[in-house]
Amino acid sequence: MVSAVILVSGGLDSTTLLSIAIDQGYQCYALSFDYGQRHRVELDAATEISRLNGVVEHKIVSLNLNAFGGSALTDNSINVPTEITTGIPVTYVPARNTIFLSYALAWAEVLGCQDIFIGVNAVDYSGYPDCRPEYVDSFAAMANLATKSAVEGDKVKIHTPLIALTKGEIIKKGISLGVDYSKTISCYQANEKGEACGVCDSCRLRRQGFQQVEVSDPTRYELKTN
Amino acid sequence: MVSAVILVSGGLDSTTLLSIAIDQGYQCYALSFDYGQRHRVELDAATEISRLNGVVEHKIVSLNLNAFGGSALTDNSINVPTEITTGIPVTYVPARNTIFLSYALAWAEVLGCQDIFIGVNAVDYSGYPDCRPEYVDSFAAMANLATKSAVEGDKVKIHTPLIALTKGEIIKKGISLGVDYSKTISCYQANEKGEACGVCDSCRLRRQGFQQVEVSDPTRYELKTN
């Protein structure tokens, strides 16, 4: 079997991604990051999803992007917006996918594998620059000059099977592969119990996805008392 | 003044790099990494060098590349070679410069600056793929698709003023700028007192550099008793 590194956050997209990689026959190594995100509870989801899918290994790497701040996800002084915004939102984390992919590249080289999967999406992508196809292509070109393995001929491929799908199409694909979306956490400010706020852009895009494909939404929402 | 992020390891090259950036008029933010390297004492040198040069801020980011291993610098089960080897040596750390530059990119974006300095060198570079000009150019191209700032027009530049210099030329440049090389640590297995082994390839290249320019070598070497 061919091995691959899969970036698994514990959300809807990356859980679907993992099922796609498994369906394509890859032996999967799941990689998650504890980067000081508000919704740290997503890592519990990532651990459970990795276990349920029988990955070879699940690694959670601690980053500390709080050291830099600059995003509503890593800086508690910036609030998460409660509506879908236009342009690049304040939940954008500076260079996040570049850092994530760099670690995936390092692990892939140590494992001797050439395949990396990332669940970026350029349709419902909230305006993040590092979710676009031209960014991913450019990262792959750089990666193939960066490592000993690549220089010696083992070229790296960055797989982005979700990049051109709508949220609804991602959900349909996942359901066809048996994904249980009740285990996934997408909310940018999920509480400790893993309950979603229902109002951040990640929640809104996710909810719209279930509506698009007329699938009942299994997300556990936090009950607001005020 | 224009700000720049400077990757400062505490070694000969990056200390010279910092002096060059200051000489070019940049307001400098120094960035170092605690990545589980054997020669962790280099971080003390980086701190002292940053202080002596009056940088605006010196950040040490913890990485934990030991989680992956795969290098003599981050895996204690692999010995540091005591001779200069041909090809890419076991001291190569998978995707290290890609990870370092990704963090520099993140910090630069948060600071609102567009200039990053890295002390890579393609002459005495020990065969590391991520020290070559084509790699750096490719990283810059990727970076300019990756971030919100770049997409909005603030293009990033990766400065590599040492890339085509010999070790001797780097030392001459540094001396002309007043660098005190006795404060720097290049050895891959420097001891806790900051004394160099004298035999790893980093020590050998450094020593050759001082010989090339007929400058007395201020490195503190460990006295071996056996």
Cα A102-A104-A109 angle, rounded to 5 deg: 100
User: At residue A78, does pLDDT exceed 90?
Assistant: no
pLDDT confidence tier of residue A71, bands split at 50, 70 and 90:
confident
Average pLDDT, stretch A82-103? 83
CA separation for the pair B3, B25 (Å, rounded): 9
Chain B residues within 8 A of A102 when measuring between CB atoms: 95, 98-99, 102
Q: Is the dihedral of CA A38, A39, A44, A46 positive or negative?
A: negative
| Residue A187 covered by a domain | yes
Write b or e for each residue in B80-102: b if 16 or more Cβ atoms lie within 10 A of its Cβ, otherwise e: beeebeeebbbbbbbbbbbbbbb
Burial of A222 (0-12, 13-18, 19+ CB in 10 A): middle
Angle between helices A96-111 and B133-146 (to 10 degrees): 140
Chain A interface, Cβ < 8 Å to B: 59, 61-65, 67-70, 88, 92-99, 102-103, 105-107, 109-110, 129-130, 132, 134-135, 138-139, 141-143, 145-148, 150-152
Question: With the C-alpha atoms ordered A210, A216, A222, A223, is the resulting torsion angle positive or negative?
Answer: positive
Which CA distances in Å does A27 have to A58, B67, B78, B162?
Answer: 12, 20, 27, 42
Q: What is the pLDDT of residues A95-121, one digit of tens each?
A: 899 999 999 999 999 999 999 999 999
Q: What is the mean pLDDT of chain B?
A: 91
Chain B residues with CB inside 8 Å of A73's CB? none
Please say if the pLDDT value at position B28 is more than 60: yes
Q: What letter does residue A79 receive in the DSSP assignment?
A: P
Residue corresponding to tokens 């007192």: B193
3-state helix, strand, coil in chain B (%, to 5): 40, 10, 50
Higher-confidence residue: A223 or A8?
A: A8
Give the domain extent around B60: 3-212
pLDDT at B226 over 60: no
**Is B218 within the bounds of a domain?**
no
CA distances from residue A146 to A128, A197, B182 in whole angstroms, order as listed: 24, 40, 32
Question: Looking at the partner chain, which of B62, B95, B152 has a beta carbon nearest the beta carbon of A147?
Answer: B95
- The CATH number given to whatever domain includes residue B133 is 3.40.50.620
Q: A69-99 burial by CB neighbour count: b if 16+ within 10 A, else e?
A: bbbbbbbeeeebeeebeeebbbbbbbbbbbb
Can you say whether the dihedral through the CA atoms of B204, A147, A135, A181 is positive or negative? negative
The answer to whether residue A108 sits within a structural domain is yes
Q: Which residues contact B64 (CB under 8 A, 6 or more apart)?
A: A61, A62, B35, B36
* Total-model pTM: 0.91
- A179 occurs within a structural domain: yes
Chain B residues within an 8 Å CB radius of A58? none
> How much of chain A exceeds pLDDT 70, in percent?
97
A221 domain residue, yes or no: no
- With vertex at residue A137, the alpha carbon angle to CA A135 and CA A138, rounded to the nearest 5 degrees, is 65
Give the DSSP H/E element, type plus range, for residue B43. helix B42-52
Cross-chain residue pair B94–A105, CB shorter than 8 Å:
yes
Name the pLDDT band for B67 (thresholds 50, 70, 90). confident
Q: Give the pLDDT band of residue A133 (cuts 50, 70, 90).
A: very high
Give the residue-averaged pLDDT of A190-219: 92
**Residue A40 in tokens:** 């740290």
Query: What phi, psi does B140 have (nearest 5°)?
Result: -65, -40
pLDDT reading at B14 higher than 80: yes
Residue of A127 and A46 predicted with greater confidence? A46
Sequence-ordered list of residues with C-beta below 8 angstroms from that of A57, at least 6 positions apart, any chain: A29, A30
Looking at residue B196, what DSSP letter applies? B
Phi-psi region of A37 (alpha: psi -120 to 50; beta: other; left: phi over 0): beta
Q: Which of A126, A67, A208, A225 is nearest to B110 (CA)?
A: A67
Quote the number of domains for chain B.
1
For residue A143, which residues of chain B lie inside 8 Å, CB to CB? 95, 98
CA dihedral in degrees (B11, B14, B17, B18; nearest 10)?
-90
* Helix residue ranges per DSSP H, chain A: 12-23, 42-52, 96-111, 133-146, 148-151, 167-176, 201-212
Examine residue A218 and state whether it is found in any structural domain, yes or no: no
Cα nearest neighbour of B93 on chain A: A106
Task: Confirm whether B222 is domain-assigned.
Answer: no
Q: What are the Cα distances from residue A150, in Å, to A114, A154, A224, B28, B59?
A: 9, 5, 51, 33, 31
State the pLDDT at residue B123.
80
Q: Say yes or no to pLDDT of A151 above 80.
A: yes
Q: What is the pLDDT of residue B126?
A: 60
**What ipTM was assigned to the predicted interfaces of this complex?**
0.90
Hey, are the CB atoms on A142 and B142 less than 8 Å from each other? yes
At B218, is the secondary structure helix, strand, or coil? coil
Is B224 a member of any domain? no
Residue A159: name the closest of A184, A185, A133 by CA: A133
Partnered with residue A27 across adjacent β-strands are: A3
pLDDT tens-digit series, residues A42-64: 999 999 999 999 999 999 998 87
Tell me the backbone φ, ψ of residue B133, rounded to 5 degrees: -55, -40
Test A151 with B129 for CB contact under 8 angstroms: yes
Residue A87 has pLDDT above 80, yes or no: no
